[in-house]
Amino acid sequence: MLGECSLFNDEKPENFDLSFEHSKTSFSRKSKQLNFLFLIFTFMINSELKKITFKEILFQIVLNVIVFIFFAFDKRQPEIELFKIYFYLNYAIPALIINYILLPKFLYNRKYIGFVLYSLVLVGIIIFIEEAILEKIYYPDTRGRKFLGIFHNLMGTMPTLTVLVGFKFGWDALTNRRKVEELKSTAKESELQFLKSQINPHFLFNNLNNLYAHAVEQSPKTPDIILELSAVLRYMLYDCKADFVSLENEIKQIKSYISLSELQIEDRGKVTFTTKNISNTKFIAPLILIVFIENAFKHSSSSQSEDIEIDIVLEELENGTLKFSCKNTYRNQSNISNVKGGIGLTNVEKRLELLYPNAHELKIKTIKNENFTVELTIDLNKTTST
């Protein structure tokens, strides 16, 4: 216990009251010197204290109250005497200087020599004030009569000082760690918002081209395309603002998009979309799956004039894993080499890495230069609604 290590374990002499009366004059003079030193200490740390939060102030108050109780307690004299506050302030104020000046300006800036030197100076000041002023006032006939040596004084000084500085160092470490996590979270959120913002123009560009082609031909399907496109864009603009959406809503969006995209291929092929064991309790990041479906339609319709086949399967396993597969045919003469490098696929791969680290597996492959296959598994148990 700090009280065990404190210098206050010495019993006061029987003539303490008499000695105290004789030292009134000395006390008045030296207390003014002591108050002047405290005023200097307070001024030195004033600028740093302005940066302290209310929580840290409360933490420091509670810490100092607890440490003072242990510091001033003497099992042989259970009553804590008020004059011991002066002795405690002799430790607490230098600790504040270390905590709010030396730590941020020297230790945290890796100026270790300066930190050690100034800390030693403060320890020397503590010992000097205690030996030359406080003990001569309050213990003139015992400890105040002679200097007991550096080692003895360090044994009384270092425990209290180490506790006060150590807790501040721990507080700063936790605060900095929290700030780092907040910065990482902010950076991650910014990148996700940027990636998500790329999807809408990419999608809109592809579908406006299709709409323009039908409008030029005065196709009777143009109103249907506009209606489906409106529904899809409404979902993208409003419902997709959240980080995660219900799997059911995402599937409804996928169905609307498939209906819209089927108008592109008309009678040139067949599209199947199958769902298995989909629950209403799972959530998924929006616009993840649709990118693969969009690429399937884009590259099949651009490379084939007939016999297009697109097969999409979405299945939720009992362990909460979502299995998604999208297969589409293509002709080798098409520029299929650009598929993996497109904005959509590159975008979704980055989003998967950010949203589902170590919780997804993506495989993209071609089969005999005739089929393009995407297989994705996502652990939906690591997805939370926000």
CATH number of the domain within which 327 lies: 3.30.565.10
CA distance 56 to 52: 6
Query: How many other C-beta atoms are found inside a 10 Å radius of the C-beta of residue 78?
Result: 7
Residue 382 DSSP code: G
CA distance 57 to 237: 45
> Which residue has better confidence, 143 or 324?
324
User: Residues 6 or more apart from 275 whose CB is under 8 A from it?
Assistant: 251, 313, 314, 315
**Residue 274 lies inside a defined structural domain of this protein:** yes
Q: 243 and 176 in one domain?
A: no
CA distance 256 to 230: 10
- What is the secondary structure of 5-52 as a DSSP string? HSGGGSPPPTTHHHHHHHTHHHHHHHHHHHHHHHHHHHHHHHHHHTT-
Average pLDDT, the chain: 78
CA distance 26 to 19: 11
Of 315, 311, 279, which Cα lies nearest the Cα of 297?
311
Query: At 273, which helix (H) or strand (E)?
Result: strand 269-276
Q: What confidence category does residue 295 fall into, taking pLDDT thresholds of 50, 70 and 90?
A: confident
- Give the alpha-carbon dihedral of 153, 171, 85, 138, to 10 degrees: 10
**Is the pLDDT at 159 greater than 80, yes or no?**
yes
CA distance 142 to 16: 10
Q: 234 and 146 in one domain?
A: no
**Is the pLDDT at 15 greater than 80, yes or no?**
no
pTM: 0.53
DSSP bridge pairs for 374: 326, 364
**Residue 121 lies inside a defined structural domain of this protein:** yes
Q: 233 and 135 in one domain?
A: no
Q: 224 and 170 in one domain?
A: no
- Per-residue pLDDT of 244-256, as tens digits, reads 889 998 998 898 8
Q: 293 and 352 in one domain?
A: yes
Q: 52 and 161 in one domain?
A: yes
The count of structural domains within the chain is: 2
Task: For residue 327, give the 3-state DSSP assignment.
Answer: strand
CA distance 60 to 1: 20
Q: 294 and 168 in one domain?
A: no
**Residue 305 lies inside a defined structural domain of this protein:** yes
The predicted pLDDT at position 183 comes to: 66
Q: What confidence category does residue 354 fall into, taking pLDDT thresholds of 50, 70 and 90?
A: confident
Tell me if 189 sits within 8 A of 242, measured CB to CB: no
Highest mean pLDDT: which of 76-90, 209-223, 235-249, 282-296?
Answer: 282-296
> Which residue has better confidence, 2 or 374?
374
Strand pairing report for 321-329 and 371-379: antiparallel
> Which residue has better confidence, 377 or 294?
377
Tell me if 174 sits within 8 A of 143, measured CB to CB: no
62-71, 208-217, 282-291: which range is least confident on average? 208-217
Tell me if 221 sits within 8 A of 214, measured CB to CB: yes
**Residue 189 lies inside a defined structural domain of this protein:** no
- Per-residue pLDDT of 20-33, as tens digits, reads 444 445 545 555 55
Tokens of 131: 């030996």
**CA-angle at 267, arms to 263 and 272, nearest 5°:** 75
% the chain with pLDDT above 70: 75
- Per-residue pLDDT of 169-208, as tens digits, reads 999 999 888 888 876 776 666 565 655 555 556 667 767 7
**Is the pLDDT at 318 greater than 60, yes or no?**
yes
- Per-residue pLDDT of 331-348, as tens digits, reads 775 544 444 445 567 778
> Which residue has better confidence, 33 or 295?
295
Task: For residue 205, give the 3-state DSSP assignment.
Answer: helix
Amino acid identity of residue 66, one-letter, is I
The predicted pLDDT at position 7 comes to: 40
What b/e sequence results for 145-171 when a residue is b if at least 16 CB atoms lie within 10 Å of its CB, and e otherwise?
eeeeeeeebeebbebbbebbbebbbeb
What is the CA 132 to chain-centroid distance, rounded?
Answer: 49
Tokens of 126: 């503590």
Residue 244: domain span: 219-382
Q: 22 and 70 in one domain?
A: yes
CA distance 10 to 130: 15
Q: 272 and 140 in one domain?
A: no
Q: 167 and 114 in one domain?
A: yes
**Is the pLDDT at 243 greater than 70, yes or no?**
yes
